[in-house]
Amino acid sequence: MRPASTGASPHQRDMTMPSNRGTTSLKRARRRGQPMRDFDALPAELRAWLATAMLPWHPTSARRAFLKALARTQDPTRALTELDRIQAKLVARDVSRIWGPDHPLLRGTSGRTA
The tens-digit pLDDT sequence of the chain (114 residues) is 555 555 554 444 444 555 666 666 766 666 677 888 999 999 999 999 999 999 899 999 999 999 999 999 999 999 999 999 999 988 888 887 888 878 787 776 544 444
Give pTM, 2 decimals: 0.61
- What's the total number of domains in the chain? 1
Rounded to whole angstroms, how far apart are CA atoms 88 and 16?
30
For residue 48, is it within any domain? Answer: no
For residue 26, is it within any domain? Answer: no
57-94 burial, b at 16+ Cβ within 10 Å, e below that, comes to bbbeebbebbeebbeeeeebeebbebbeebbeebbbeb
Domain with 83 in it: 58-114
For residue 30, is it within any domain? Answer: no
For residue 90, is it within any domain? Answer: yes
Q: Are 35 and 58 in contact (CB under 8 A)?
A: yes
Residue 61 is predicted with a pLDDT of 93
Residue 114 is predicted with a pLDDT of 44
